[in-house]
Amino acid sequence: MKEIVVISGKGGTGKTSITASFAILADTEAIIADCDVDAADMHLLLQPDFAQYEDFYSGFKADIDQEICMKCGKCKQVCRFDAVRNDNNFYDIIPLNCEGCGYCKEVCPVNAITMIEQNVGKWYISKIKTDTFMVHAKLGVGADNSGKLVAKVKKEAKKLAQENSKDIILIDGSPGIGCPVVSSLSGADYVILITEPTLSGFHDMKRVFELIQNFNLHAGCIVNKYDVNNEISDKITDFCKKNKIDLISKLPYDEAFTKAMTTGKTIIEYEDSEIKDKLEKSWKKIMKLTDGH
């Protein structure tokens, strides 16, 4: 079984559209996981049925029982996050500021504070249009995207793959270079970096590559919209060569990508195009590069 994670450093590079295209190409061979839980979009292209779901709890927030509180103010003194408010000698917690560190609970002399576990979202197992499964999630508004939900989605995808003897787990990774993407990468066999030939795109790619190196992972790169700036495209290609990143493909700027998305389809299902052809070749290449996993 091989675990392939697609990441981009930053949003808007076509990561989700490309991953969904690969999901169609992988057909029934793969379990799909959408780890971009902060703004999960793959469902718009793969049409999951949202058949099974479960609430996800992570982290705590403090709560003061007013009946017990004797208004000593100790909690307010120790809170480093300005989360305890004192209104007319009435102490309560501002949930938005509370980090859930529990320090206030430790010092309250009368045990008036309880830590309440937070429902941060839901995760789903769905059947998708290729007749395989997808694991995905929806983070609650303003919830802490701590990477734990990402870890959960990955774990469930892995379990499903084992139960159903699937060869591939294809993961739409989280954006950025923080905690969620670290969770998306752990345990991966191969990482695909989607990048755009812009100054910022190249910069973000280098930053995310630094992160990948920490994990000692084998990576490949797809340059999307390479013809928007040939000079930077060449720099990206050189960077890949120097750092032993496989150059998987270079895709041209093509609005058909967006047009396909507007109809709820991946470009693979839309109309014959140069991109479709290139993506098919890319997927074959990725399968070859990951042989033996």
Partner 1 sequence: MKISIASGKGGTGKTTLATNLAYLISQTCPVVLTDLDVEEPNSKFFIKGNKISEKKVFKMIPEWDKDKCILCGNCQKVCQFNAVIKLWEEVLIFDKLCHSCYACSELCPKNALPMKSYDVGKITQFEYHDIHFVEGKLNVGEEQAVPLIAQTIDYVHKKFPHDMLLIFDSPPGTSCPVIEATKDADYIILVTEPTPFGLHDLTLAVEVMRELKKDFGIVINRYGIGNDDVITYCKNERIPLLGTIPNMKAAAEAYAKGELLSTAIPEIKTALNKIIQNLKVCEVL
Q: Point out which residues bind partner 1 (CB under 8 A).
A: 9-13, 16, 38-39, 41, 44, 60, 78, 80-81, 96, 99-103, 106-107, 115, 139, 141-145, 147, 175-179, 182, 196-201, 203-204, 207, 210-211, 214, 225, 228-229, 232, 253, 255, 258-259, 261-262, 264
Given partner 1, ligand SF4, none, residue 112, with its beta carbon under 5 to 8 Å by kind, binds ligand SF4
Q: Tell me which of ligand SF4, partner 1, none is bound by residue 70, counting a contact when its beta carbon lies within the kind-specific cut-off of 5 to 8 angstroms.
A: ligand SF4
**CB neighbour class for 114 (10 Å; exposed up to 12, middle 13-18, buried from 19):** middle
287 makes contact with ligand SF4 (CB under 6 A)? no
How far is it, in rounded angstroms, from Cα 82 to Cα 28? 51
Residues contacting ligand SF4: total by CB under 6 A: 27
Taking the C-alpha atoms of residue 277 and residue 267, their distance in angstroms, rounded to an integer, is 10
C-beta closer to partner 1: residue 1 or 44: 44
Backbone angles phi, psi at 244, to 5 degrees: 55, 40
- The answer to whether residue 102 forms part of the interface with ligand SF4 (CB under 6 A) is yes
d(CA 273, CA 56): 41
Using CB under 6 A as the binding rule, the residues of this chain from 24 to 63 that contact ligand SF4 are: 62
The Cβ of residue 102 has, within 10 Å, a number of other Cβ atoms equal to: 14
Which of ligand SF4, partner 1, none sits in contact with 214, Cβ below 5 to 8 A by type? partner 1
Complete DSSP assignment for 184-241: HHTT-SEEEEEE-SSHHHHHHHHHHHHHHHHHT--EEEEETTGGG-HHHHHHHHHHHH
Per-residue tokens: 246 = 């496989």
| One of 53, 59, 101, 140 touching ligand SF4 (CB under 6 A) | 101
Sign of the Cα torsion 252, 18, 211, 167 reads negative
Point out which residues bind ligand SF4 (CB under 6 A): 62, 64, 69-75, 78-79, 81, 83-84, 91, 93, 98-104, 108, 110, 112-113
